[in-house]
């Protein structure tokens, strides 16, 4: 009987170990923050394909640093995590701009190329070359509209938000929900590939305080800037609107 009892105890011990192992595995981190800043829960179609990531214990926790995949609809209990994340970010002090509130560069199609590299590849006038993984553009040929200079090395380029994120924040983006801010930050209609030093000179200034060195581009710059403010319903004060229209009339003769 002793051998049988011992066997039964061993079986139960193994069974308990397996159950504990499964429970532990389920309590392990299940949400993946990809290098492109997208949070993939287990029900994301890209979950199994995301090999390089930062793990998080919950979708809500991950969404403090990243964003959801395009067209993703959370299932079951994950819906509550998304709602909680949105509520937390929306309650952030409205007087404080934080770049993280607009999320990282996205990777909508999950091909490992984020918005920066998608743009560089799209607008290069020659076939771009990539790093070994095929995720980052290394070389190409780009005409910078801000300076009218040609660049061949991607590291010399910044991808600039025509309407700066901080400027947008101060003109209405402070009240946007998380998804709209992230969509704005990755909207290619609001992006230019430009010389890094010139972009940093611009900072968060609008056209009333800064215009590109290339004067031939001023009219298009102001016109496109205005188009984005209308598209996203950004708010200009009466004085700003008058000065903006006056500047555009003066330049776009």
Spatial separation of the C-alpha atoms in residues 18 and 144, rounded to whole Å: 60
The pLDDT > 70 percentage for the chain reads 81
The whole model's pTM is what? 0.66
Band of the pLDDT at 19, cuts 50, 70, 90? very low
Q: Are 217 and 252 in contact (CB under 8 A)?
A: no
Mean of per-residue pLDDT scores for the chain = 85
The b/e string for 190-210 (b: 16+ C-beta within 10 A; e otherwise) is bbbbbbeebbeebebebbeee
197 pLDDT exceeds 60? yes
Q: Which of 33-37, 208-212, 249-253 has the lowest mean pLDDT?
A: 33-37
Helix axes 238-251 and 218-231, enclosed angle (nearest 10): 150
Over residues 86-106, the pLDDT tens digits come to 555 555 445 589 999 999 999
Over residues 130-163, the pLDDT tens digits come to 999 999 999 999 999 999 999 999 999 999 999 9
Q: Are 222 and 247 in contact (CB under 8 A)?
A: yes
23 pLDDT exceeds 70? no
25 pLDDT exceeds 70? no
Spatial separation of the C-alpha atoms in residues 162 and 109, rounded to whole Å: 24
Cα 40–42–48 angle (5° rounding)? 75
Spatial separation of the C-alpha atoms in residues 190 and 159, rounded to whole Å: 10
Tokens linked to 61: 């926790």
Over residues 117-127, the pLDDT tens digits come to 999 999 999 99
């Amino acid at each position: 009987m002793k051998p049988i009892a011992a066997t039964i105890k061993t079986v139960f011990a193994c069974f308990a170990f397996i159950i504990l192992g499964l429970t532990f595995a389920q309590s392990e981190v299940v949400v993946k923050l990809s290098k492109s800043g997208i949070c993939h829960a287990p029900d994301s179609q890209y979950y199994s394909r995301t090999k390089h990531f930062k793990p998080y214990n919950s979708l809500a926790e991950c969404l403090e640093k990243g964003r959801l995949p395009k067209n993703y609809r959370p299932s079951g209990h994950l819906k509550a995590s998304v709602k909680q994340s949105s509520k937390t970010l929306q309650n952030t002090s409205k007087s404080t701009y934080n770049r993280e509130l607009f999320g990282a560069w996205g990777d909508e199609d999950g091909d490992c190329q984020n918005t920066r590299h998608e743009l560089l590849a799209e607008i290069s006038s020659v076939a771009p070359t990539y790093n070994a993984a095929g995720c980052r553009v290394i070389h190409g040929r780009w005409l910078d509209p801000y300076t009218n200079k040609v660049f061949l090395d991607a590291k010399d380029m910044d991808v600039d938000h025509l309407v700066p994120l901080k400027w947008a924040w101060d003109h209405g983006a402070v009240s946007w929900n998380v998804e709209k801010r992230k969509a704005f930050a990755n909207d290619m209609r609001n992006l230019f590939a430009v010389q890094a030093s010139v972009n940093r000179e611009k900072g968060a200034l609008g056209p009333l305080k800064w215009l590109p060195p290339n004067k031939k581009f001023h009219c298009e710059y102001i016109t496109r800037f205005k188009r984005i403010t209308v598209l996203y319903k950004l708010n200009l004060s009466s004085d700003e609107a008058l000065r903006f229209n006056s500047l555009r009339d003066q330049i776009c003769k």
